[in-house]
Amino acid sequence: MDRLTIEEVRLTPVLVADPPLLNTQGLHQPYTPRLVVEVRTAGGHSGVGETYGDTKYLAPARKLAERLPGRSVRDVNALLAMAGELPVSGTGLSDSVDVGGLRGVQTAEKLRLSVASAFEVACLDALGHALGEPVHALLGGRVRDTVEYAAYLFYRHARHPDDAGEPDDWGDALDAPGVVAQARLLAERYGFRSFKLKGGVLPPDEEVAAVRALAAEFPGSPLRLDPNGAWTVATSLRVADELRDVLEYLEDPTSGTEAMAAVAAETRVPLATNMCVTTRGEIPEAFTRGAVQVVLSDHHYWGGLRRTLELAAVCRTFGVGLAMHSNTHLGISLAAMTQVASVVPDLHHTCDTHYPWQSEDVLTARVPLASGRVRVSDAPGLGVALDRDALARLHRRWREDDGTHRDRDDAAAMRRLVPGWDAPAVPRW
Amino acid sequence: MDRLTIEEVRLTPVLVADPPLLNTQGLHQPYTPRLVVEVRTAGGHSGVGETYGDTKYLAPARKLAERLPGRSVRDVNALLAMAGELPVSGTGLSDSVDVGGLRGVQTAEKLRLSVASAFEVACLDALGHALGEPVHALLGGRVRDTVEYAAYLFYRHARHPDDAGEPDDWGDALDAPGVVAQARLLAERYGFRSFKLKGGVLPPDEEVAAVRALAAEFPGSPLRLDPNGAWTVATSLRVADELRDVLEYLEDPTSGTEAMAAVAAETRVPLATNMCVTTRGEIPEAFTRGAVQVVLSDHHYWGGLRRTLELAAVCRTFGVGLAMHSNTHLGISLAAMTQVASVVPDLHHTCDTHYPWQSEDVLTARVPLASGRVRVSDAPGLGVALDRDALARLHRRWREDDGTHRDRDDAAAMRRLVPGWDAPAVPRW
């Protein structure tokens, strides 16, 4: 037992306010689950991480939390090995690669890694605190002072159905002018200089018009469109052709490696993905077939920050670009993304982040986003501190929830607007 | 300037005694060059690394050494970026991939990385000393207590031509009985349980007989044969077939990805390599064509320990096995190899090491090898200490050398036995 030995692991599921953002499967619910993981060492050093908080993540997270005391926060490799043996029975997942939704394929291995990622980040944070070093120094040292993020544009409503949830001042965005107004506001408030539109919501021509309107408003800015695999190969090619002069890349226009490869073969617009390549098993085929030109890494999917660097190396070796994906997350993960992004020599595009859409956080201070950038913290660990009151408040919301929000269900939220709605089969258009 | 800022970098080229070992290109000279790199930080923490010491490595090493003061030992990523810009003019190397000798292709990038590797290891060692942590903790933590190595068998003479160099008590090994006797001695002295024979020296049938003799002497032990690419595809396939029941793998039977792929397509004996894949640029073709089943990583080639972990990740992703290559090296590199090998979850085979052949070292204590294994040090850094007297003695030998040994030249040594010898063209058989 030394000062780095883990004495206590604390899991805190929370529900975080989420705006009524639209995507191809439906509508964000008013609250979305996240899981906050804390580790505390014998030397009194703490570390924090976060990951997906849906019910299926919680049981394996509890198992892992039980097994950690007595281990060292140094031992990230051992942690990942332990995570690889977590039972995930009852989730309906197997170790084979199944088709999935917005988060790409759903496999038992990916679930385990998504759980482990929060523990890995918490261990790195605690190790950094104990050694007096920022996380990036544990990953080989940062190569940049700031990490640039893209504005993440959504078609959205001004309010949730029945005015549920927490109100915000962003207004609605249901057509091209609405998207441009939102982009202007995001640029004003955060200084973003590149823009991603979550598509797959309106018929492709309307989304093409929205991207054209963005190009007119922000000439020369990198633009991206992400319909989450909602299109056919033919539609993908038509959109790529129509927007070829303004798109930095097209993200997951269609579903699956086969279809992505078919699109990639016929267009010079690069294809990015956070759906087609989200597990190691998907890489060889996608890379050797040239199905994707940019992988958007999500450190939660890949098992944490060290594994993200491994993914970066695989991409580098095969000449595939790298940037970062974001799902709804808090400041802990933004800090973690920033630390790992700071050490990747060849980060080819600005990273995605949902952070501006999250009005609530569990930190004593929000992670500042200015000029579209987050400064890389040189403080020990991740450089963030938990606000225990905020954490308790969001946990109470989770405890008191009747089950409606404990598992993210965009189709359920959408049904409150469109009775009988079910996530459309893909390709939809 | 903080305690981790590099204040001083010291380069010490040395000549180390080397026995008269044979390979397909010739004979080891009595002394071989290595370069010892030391960094010292403002906080008084030192770190040490070693790499190839031939003349062409020294000029870029000096350039890199000049640029490091004022940088932090944390900043391994920045170090590698700096190394990527080192001038290598006068070496005749370009950034394209050229054919090479025993060390695989020779490119400017690989030369730079080979130089950088010693600095990277020295920085990790110093960082470990400063933080009170073993190097493995900086790499995610060890997953094993010991790292197993293989006995590295050589055809050899008892003495160098003209009794040059330092005598040893291993005797000669010029046929199957000699190889078996050497293997027995290595097993007795170090406890090795797997065996690699450096081949490409005698006609293939004689080497097949030597491996058969080893199999009879050590039934069930993993055996390997490495002719350094000296054979045709047909010879490679014939040897693979004749030894298919006893070979763990066949190492570089033939030269180049094309020929290796042709062999791999027709045999079920796995092919290993430290010649066909020694740079990132060679990976995609070799892996997608299935030319190699095991990559033998050499952390010097790949730019250090972090880059070795990246290579491990690429191999893992493509289902290619991993183990480690060794060229003549001192205890510093054995300690470094052991640290990095300790954190690779899926190390598929015992690692190679020349260490038993090096009677001289620059450490206060030799790295212990028992039961074929090196215990993974949990002491800060690499867990080794320089013997300044020994270092000075081996450096003096380098300083006083008339140029004969400053660049490894196996053909030159061989010419003292076989007048007019030149490294044979491959394939030789």
List, in sequence order, the alpha helices (H) in A318-409: 331-343, 388-400
Say if the Cβ atoms of A288 and B288 lie within 8 Å: yes
pLDDT score of B91: 66
Q: Is the pLDDT of residue B320 over 80?
A: yes
Q: Are A428 and A231 a contacting pair, CB within 8 Å?
A: yes
- Please report the DSSP string for B141-153 in residue order: --S-SEEEEEEEE
pLDDT score of A404: 95
Q: How confident is the model at residue B356 (pLDDT cuts 50, 70, 90)?
A: very high
pLDDT score of B428: 96
CB proximity list for B119: less than 8 A, separation 6 or greater: B9, B37, B39, B49, B61, B64, B65, B68, B79, B83, B304
Say if the Cβ atoms of A280 and B140 lie within 8 Å: no
- Please report the DSSP string for B217-286 in residue order: HSTT--EEEE-TTBS-HHHHHHHHHHTTTTEEEEE--BSSHHHHHHHHTT-SSPEEESSSSSSGGGHHHH
Q: Which residues of B touch A311 (CB under 8 A)?
A: 313
ipTM here: 0.95
Using CA atoms, how far apart are residues B376 and B146, in angstroms rounded to an integer?
A: 5
Contact of B3 with chain A, judged by CB distance below 8 Å, is answered with no
B328-353 pLDDT tens trace: 999 999 999 999 999 999 998 999 99
Contact of B379 with chain A, judged by CB distance below 8 Å, is answered with no
Which residues in chain A show pLDDT less than 70? 1, 90-101
Q: Is the pLDDT of residue B100 over 60?
A: no
Contact of B158 with chain A, judged by CB distance below 8 Å, is answered with no
pLDDT score of A99: 46
CB proximity list for A165: less than 8 A, separation 6 or greater: A17, A18, A19, A20, A29, A30, A31
pLDDT score of A348: 87
Contact of A284 with chain B, judged by CB distance below 8 Å, is answered with yes
The beta-carbon neighbor of A81 closest among B75, B143, B316 is B143
Q: Quick one: tokens of A263?
A: 């699109």
What element of type H or E holds B179? helix B176-190
Q: How confident is the model at residue B92 (pLDDT cuts 50, 70, 90)?
A: low
Size of interface A-B (CB pairs under 8 A): 79
Average pLDDT, chain B: 95
* Closest-CA residue of chain B to A129: B131
Q: Which domains does chain B have, with CATH numbers?
A: 6-136+387-401 (3.30.390.10), 141-375 (3.20.20.120)
Average pLDDT, integer, range B201-212: 98
Q: Is the pLDDT of residue B97 over 50?
A: no
Say if the Cβ atoms of A141 and B310 lie within 8 Å: no
